[in-house]
Amino acid sequence: MKAMNRFILIICILMLSAVHAKDSPLPQGIIALDGRPAPALKLNDMDGHSFDLKDSRGHWVFVHFWASWCGPCRREMPTIQTMAAAIKDTSLEIVLVNTAETDEEVFTFLGIVAPDLESLMDHDGLITERWQPRGLPSSFLVDPSGKLRYVALGGRVWDSPEYITFLRRLVTP
């Protein structure tokens, strides 16, 4: 009898999970977070221009951690470039953070794979460590009040309709 009850419980949980996933407005791989404050993020890009996440309050920010040696990052970067072009008419700010590589490595990689994108440089990896992505690539969505709302772990096809629609909905009041 206990085995039957466990079996029924497992089936019920699986059915509820399937219903929840079907009704969920989040695209595959996007995970809702608890809304804790985003860690500090103040870095320079390869041209020496400074970026501070605090200055981005008031609108959504897509913070993407990556490295050129990361296979999923290499496949994903062109889709981020296409996504950026597709949503350039929105207030979403796209911030790329390269983790512990040289300017030369990043310049060469982006020049070939995604020439329209620029990246902040986390040369010593301390900012990445503070954000604690569970592997690369990892993308965080920071809300207008500076809180972490969503994360995507691993590579995504960011220029697909489901992600573009999701991002547009975020920035539309």
Q: Is 29 left (phi over 0), alpha (psi -120 to 50) or beta?
A: left
CATH code of the domain covering residue 110: 3.40.30.10
- The Cβ-side half-sphere exposure at 75, using a 13 Å CA radius, reads 7
Q: Identify the pLDDT of residue 2.
A: 57
Residue 5 within a domain: no
Rounded CA gap, 63 and 80, in Å?
A: 11
Q: pLDDT of 87-104, one tens digit each?
A: 999 999 999 999 999 999
**119 inside domain:** yes
Domains held by the chain: number: 1
Report if residue 143 sits inside a domain.
Answer: yes
Residue 136 in any domain: the answer is yes
pLDDT 10s digit of each residue in the chain, 173 long? Answer: 555 444 443 334 333 333 333 344 899 999 999 999 999 999 999 999 999 999 999 999 999 999 999 999 999 999 999 999 999 999 999 999 999 999 999 999 999 999 999 999 999 999 999 999 999 999 999 999 999 999 999 999 999 999 999 999 999 97
Does residue 9 sit within a domain?
A: no
C-alpha 53/C-alpha 42 separation (Å) is: 6
| Enclosing domain of residue 142 | 29-171
Query: Are β-strands 138-142 and 120-122 bridged in parallel, bridged antiparallel, or unpaired?
Result: unpaired
Beta strand residue intervals within 26-147, DSSP E:
30-32, 42-45, 50-52, 61-66, 93-99, 120-122, 138-142
Q: Which residue type sits at 121?
A: M
pTM (2 d.p.): 0.85
Asked whether residue 1 is domain-assigned, the answer is no
The answer as to whether 113 is a domain residue is: yes
Domain-embedded: residue 11: no
